[in-house]
Structure 1
Amino acid sequence: MEFIIGAVSAVGAGCFTNPLEVVKTRIQLQGELKKKGHYVVHYKNFLHAFYIIGKTEGIFAIQKGLAPALAHQVVLNGVRLGGYQMAEERGWNLNREGQLSMLNTVKTRLQSQAGESIAVGHQHKVEGTVSALRTAYREGGLGGLWRGAGGSLPRMMVGSASQLTSFYVVKEYLANNKHYVIPFGLLNTFIASMVGGVVVAFAMGPLDVISTRLYNQGVDQKGRGLLYDGYIDCVKKMWKTEGLAGFYKGIVPCYVRIGPHTVLCFVFWDQLKQLQRKLTGQPPDIPAASV
C-alpha cells in the first residue's frame, strides 16, 4: 500500500506539472553547445516559451510526453516515497533520540520534439510513446532504451536526497520551533514542500541539464552519441562552449516545475497517508521527534 500511495501522489502532481517539464526541456536544449549570441533564441523566457509552443504547435503540445512522464512517476516515486514511508513507519530514519537523521529515455524525446520553426536540440521524428520506444530500440537495440541512464543516476540521487531530507528537516523545524510553531498539517507540509523545491532545483538543476542533453542527443548507425561520448564528455563540452551559465539553463522553469510538483506530490502523499491510517484505525502520522 505504501508504494501505491507514493505512486498515486506523484501521478496526481505530474498531471499538473508536465507542461512545466516540457518548457524546461525546450529551454535546456536551446543553444546546445553554442556560445551566447551565436544561436537563435526561440524561447526568451519561461512565459514566452509557453506562448510560442501554444501558438506554433497548439495548446495540447504543452502536454507532450504525458503518458511516459506519468509512468516514470509511478516507477520512481512509487518506490522512492513508498520506501521512505516504510522506513519512516519503522523508525529507520531516526537516530537514538528519536530525531530525524540526515546521515541515516522516452519522456525527454517527446517533450523536446517541436515544430520546425521553433525546434531546439536534436529532433527525433516520433509520433507518440510507442513510436519513441520503437525508434530508440531500432537505433540502439535494448541498450538504446537505457541510453542516458548514466546521466540520470546522479540527478536522481542528488534530487531524492536533497528533496526528502530538506522536506522533513523543515517540517520538523516548523513544528518544534520555540518562537513560532506551525504544527504538522497542511500548512506545515505546504511550506516544507516549497523549501524542498528550492533546495532540489538548485542542487539538481545542472545535473538535470546534463541528463536532458544525454537523453536527447542523436546517434550514429552504431548507436553512438553524435555530440557526447558520455557523462564526463558532456560536462567538458558544455563548460567549454556554454560556461557555468549553460549548466543552469532553464533553472527558472526547473524550479517552477519542481516547486509545484514537490508541493502537490507531498501534500497528496501526506493526505493519503493520513487517510490510510484513519481507515486502518491507526493514530495520526506524527514523527517521533514531536512526541
Structure 2
Amino acid sequence: MNSNRMVVAQRGVIPPPKHYADSAWFKYILSCCAATTAEMVTYPLDLTKTRLQIQGEKGLNGNGVATVPYRGLARTGVGIVQEEGLLKLWQGVTPAVYRHLIYSGTRMVLYEKVRDHLFTTRPDGTRPVWQAIVGGILVGGIAQFLASPADLIKVQMQMEGRRRFEGKPPRIHSASEAFVKIYAAGGLRGLWKGCMPNVYRSAFVNLGDLTTYDSVKRYFMGSWGLSDSYWTHALSSACSGLIGASLGTPLDVVKTRVMNQPTDVRARGLLYKNSLDCLMKTVRNEGFWALYKGFVPCWLRMGPWSLTFWLTYEQIRNACGTSAF
C-alpha cells in the first residue's frame, strides 16, 4: 500500500508527506526564538531610543514647557544606569518579547507564504522588487496590528523609570498590571491606542528589513555568485538594518509619542488628536529633524538586531533541517 501511495504521489495526485521542519508552525517557532534572542541582546538601545524620542516634547510635564534631561545617546544611556540602575536598561523587555512572539512569527510565516505562492521567480532566483515591496508592507502591517497591545505596554513600561526619577507617581509596576489598567480605562479599543502609526511604521520597517534582506540576499547570490553563508547573511542584514531605520524612525517617533501621551477618562489623548496631529505638532514645535530623534540608537539597534536575528534564524533553520529562507 505504501508503494502504491508513493507511485501516486510521484504522479502528482497525492503530495508526498511534508516534513515538520518546513511546516508553517515550526517556522513560526524558529522565528520567535531568533527574534527573542535579538531582542534581549539589543533591548537597551531600544529603551535609550524611546527616551530620546520623548525628550523635548511640549506638554509632557503638564505646564507646556519642554525639558531636556539628557542629550545624545551616550549621556542618555549613562544617565539611566546612574539614576535608575543597570537593570532598568531592560525595563519593559517582557512585553517586548511578547510582541515578537506575535509580530515576528506572523510576519515571517506570512511573508514566506506570500513570496512562495504569489511572487514571480526569475531564472536566476531573484524576484521583482515591487512584489517584494508590496508583500513586505502588507505582512508588516498585519503583524503589527495584531501585536500592537504588547507594543503599547512596552512603551509605557519603558517610561516608568523616568517618571519615578522625576518624582511622579508610578502608573504601572508590571506588564500584567499595565494590561489590566489600559483595558479598564479604554476597553479593547484602548489596547490599540496609537496602533495606526505603529502599523504604518512597521509596514515601512518591514519594507526596509524583511524586503531588503530577501531582495539583497538573492541579488548577492544570483549576481555576485555568493553562497548561502554567514557572510551573505551578514551583508544582507547590514543593508536591511540601515534601510529599516531610515524608513521607520519618523513613524517610530510619532508612534512613541502617541502611545506615551496621557489620556482622559474616555481614553482620548490629551496632547495629540491623532497620528497626523502628532506629526504636525512635532515638526512645528521642534523642527523636521525632531522626527529623527533617536535615529542613531535606532540604527545602532536595528543593525545588530537584524544581524543577530537573521544569523540566528538562518542557522537554526539549517540545524533543524528547514529549507533556507
| TM-score > 0.5 by shorter chain | yes
Which of 164, 167, 173 is matched with 2:213 structurally?
Answer: 167
Match of 1:26 in 2: 51
Deviates more, 1:193-202 or 1:102-111: 102-111
Structure number with greater Rg is 2
Which deviations, in whole Å up to 9, do the C-alpha atoms of 1:248-270 show, x marking residues without a partner?
Answer: 01100111111111111111111
Which of 108, 118, 134 is matched with 2:155 structurally?
Answer: 108
1:227–1:173 distance in 2 versus 1, CA, 3 Å: same
TM-score scaled by structure 1? 0.87
Amino acid in the other structure paired with 1:186:
Y
More helix as a share of residues: 2
Structure 2: unaligned runs, 5 residues or longer: 1-25, 60-64, 132-151
Match of 2:16 in 1: none
Is 2:120–2:127's contact at 8 Å kept on the other side of the alignment? yes
How much does 1:124 deviate? Answer: 5.9
Amino acid in the other structure paired with 1:83:
L
Which deviations, in whole Å up to 9, do the C-alpha atoms of 1:105-129 show, x marking residues without a partner?
Answer: 100001122245865xx98611110
Instruction: Give the whole-Å Cα distance in 1 for the aligned partners of 2:161 and 2:317.
Output: 39
1:87–1:2 distance in 2 versus 1, CA, 3 Å: farther
Amino acid in the other structure paired with 1:270:
E
Amino acid in the other structure paired with 2:217:
K
Structure 1 residues 154-193: aligned runs within 5 Å: 154-178=200-224, 181-193=225-237
Deviates more, 1:131-140 or 1:95-104: 95-104
Is 1:255 the counterpart of 2:275 in the alignment? Answer: no
Q: Which runs of 4+ in 1 moved over 6 A?
A: none
Instruction: Give the whole-Å Cα distance in 2 for the aligned partners of 1:223 and 1:115.
Output: 22
Which of 174, 179, 182 is matched with 1:136 structurally?
Answer: 182
**Aligned-pair identity (%):** 27
Is 1:56 the counterpart of 2:83 in the alignment? Answer: yes
Between the two proteins, the alignment pairs up a number of residues equal to 274
Structure 1 residues 161-240: aligned runs within 5 Å: 161-178=207-224, 181-240=225-284
Instruction: Give the whole-Å Cα distance in 2 for the aligned partners of 1:85 and 1:272.
Output: 16
Is 1:4–1:82's contact at 8 Å kept on the other side of the alignment? no
Which protein has greater RCO, CA pairs closer than 8 Å, 6+ apart?
1
Amino acid in the other structure paired with 2:310:
F
TM-score scaled by structure 2? 0.78
RMSD between superposed Cα atoms in Å:
2.2
